[in-house]
Amino acid sequence: MPKPTDPQSPATRLVTGGRRAEWTGTADQPGAVVSPPVWRASTHLYPDTAALKSGPKTNEDGRFFYGRRGSPTQWALAEALTALEPGGHGTMLYPSGVAAITGALLSVLSPGDVLLMTDSAYDPSRNFADGFLRRFGIETRYYDPTIGAGVSALICERTRAILMESPGSLTFEVQDVPAICSAARTANPDIALLIDNTWATGHFMPALALGADMSILACTKYIVGHSDVMLGSVTTTERFYPRLRQTAQALGTVVSPDDAWLALRGLRTLDVRLRQHQASALKIARWLDAQPQVARVLHPALPSCPGHEVWQRDFTGSSGLFSFVLNGGSDAARAALIDTLTLFGIGYSWGGFESLAIPVDPARCRSATSWPPAGEPNALVVRLHIGLEDPDDLIADLAKGLVAFTMTA
């Protein structure tokens, strides 16, 4: 398998990453398969008692021990995801994106610690911090996602981790990850820097290369790409990998080989899918930006979006998820817009081949910043995921929705 430092393009690494010797073949054993088989096994047998006794002592990656520690199917996916993040040392797999976030946090936090979390974080991340972590004496403090190097003023002697998310999953502020990481390490070299990188993946934003210690993905989204698997991952550096791995094993975290196989299959086409999501979403975002019913579009690739300059510097592309703010209206009018759509499904998640639309209300999950921003007293938001349908068909569908919004407003 190519290492993350190999001089290959990211698109090539998506195809070659994780292709293990046991199924790619050798000179002595040619003709192996391109994709790995699905290794379904809870019990791994040993040839003798001596081998049985040595198994628990070694606890090495890529070594048969017991089904909970994986098999070549899971190992191949983990290695391919590590190759996706330049600077990555290892990847742990989780049964969902939320499990990946919580597993990463639990690996670096202890009672009495302080966690800094972006105010634009994924709602389940906030729920975990305000509920579970609080029960165990871990305090969470929220910060303005546009804070940049100013985060240093929030770091105290008990601060042990920062959880970033760029862009935010509802209002799409782009964080200055290098500035936050540099300022945090200057204030406390031992702080752990985590980022939810689901929107761009390591393919469009190399989070570890920008300074983060852990890059967290809800693989349910773009890695799988087909809306049929729940999966998460955390890719980290050599420094933090032992802690991450030990915590995951202690919690009994495991993913099924079938799900790992589907995710590995999806990963191979990530480059072409993301580029189509990007092109279609940008076309639709620009069209929406010109509509009178739309106050503004929250898409990092648009110059009007907060953090656009940072996006230009740190990202190599954009994905299919963004929001737009309606120009006036009511909850009923927003509902009419969404209910009129025929090509957009109404449902949570995103990252699959299908387009989705949901109403979102950022105000309920803000504490360090306010929503709506000053001067926007009635900022109703619709979040879209642009799938792989023809963007002109999606625009025509949205045009009907905007008519319904106007008639209801």
Residues 302-336: tens digit of each pLDDT = 999 989 999 999 999 999 999 999 999 999 999 99
Is residue 6 among the annotated active site residues? no
Confidence band, pLDDT 50/70/90 cuts, at residue 154: very high
What does the alpha-carbon distance between residue 339 and residue 343 come to, in Å, rounded to a whole number? 11
CATH of 270-408, one of 3.90.1150.10, 3.90.180.10, 3.10.105.10, 3.40.50.200: 3.90.1150.10
Is residue 221 among the annotated active site residues? yes
Confidence band, pLDDT 50/70/90 cuts, at residue 371: confident
**Beta-sheet pairing, 344-345 with 321-326:** unpaired
**Beta-sheet pairing, 192-196 with 355-360:** unpaired
pLDDT at 292 over 50: yes
Predicted confidence (pLDDT) per residue in 164-198, tens digit: 999 998 999 999 999 999 999 999 999 999 999 99
Confidence band, pLDDT 50/70/90 cuts, at residue 398: very high
Going from N- to C-terminal start, the domains of the chain cover 10-267, 270-408
Mean pLDDT value across the chain: 92
175 contacts 309 by C-beta, under 8 angstroms: no
What does the alpha-carbon distance between residue 402 and residue 14 come to, in Å, rounded to a whole number? 39
Which whole number is the average pLDDT over 226-242? 97
Is residue 196 among the annotated active site residues? yes
Confidence band, pLDDT 50/70/90 cuts, at residue 17: confident
Which whole number is the average pLDDT over 258-283? 97
Confidence band, pLDDT 50/70/90 cuts, at residue 70: confident
What does the alpha-carbon distance between residue 8 and residue 16 come to, in Å, rounded to a whole number? 10
Q: How many CB atoms lie within 10 A of CB 375?
A: 6
- 10 Å CB burial of residue 33 (0-12, 13-18, 19+) is exposed
**What pLDDT score does 4 carry?**
43
What does the alpha-carbon distance between residue 362 and residue 359 come to, in Å, rounded to a whole number? 10
Cα 115 versus chain centre, distance: 19
pLDDT at 291 over 50: yes
pLDDT at 144 over 80: yes
Which whole number is the average pLDDT over 34-43? 84
- Among 43-52, 305-314, 362-371, top mean pLDDT goes to 305-314
Q: List CB contacts of 404: < 8 A, sequence separation 6 or more.
A: 336, 337, 339, 340
Which whole number is the average pLDDT over 84-94? 97
Which position among 69, 126, 221, 245 bears the catalytic label? 221
> Between residues 60 and 251, which one has the greater pLDDT?
251
**What pLDDT score does 1 carry?**
34
**What pLDDT score does 7 carry?**
63
> Between residues 7 and 404, which one has the greater pLDDT?
404
pLDDT at 230 over 90: yes
Which position among 113, 119, 176, 196 bears the catalytic label? 196
pLDDT exceeding 90 applies to what percent of the chain?
78
**What pLDDT score does 376 carry?**
72
pLDDT at 163 over 80: yes
166: left (phi over 0), alpha (psi -120 to 50) or beta: beta
Which position among 3, 40, 53, 68 bears the catalytic label? 68
**Beta-sheet pairing, 321-326 with 381-385:** antiparallel
Is residue 283 among the annotated active site residues? no
> What dotted CATH number matches 10-267?
3.40.640.10
**What pLDDT score does 223 carry?**
98
**What pLDDT score does 6 carry?**
57
Which position among 19, 69, 113, 122 bears the catalytic label? 122
**What pLDDT score does 23 carry?**
59
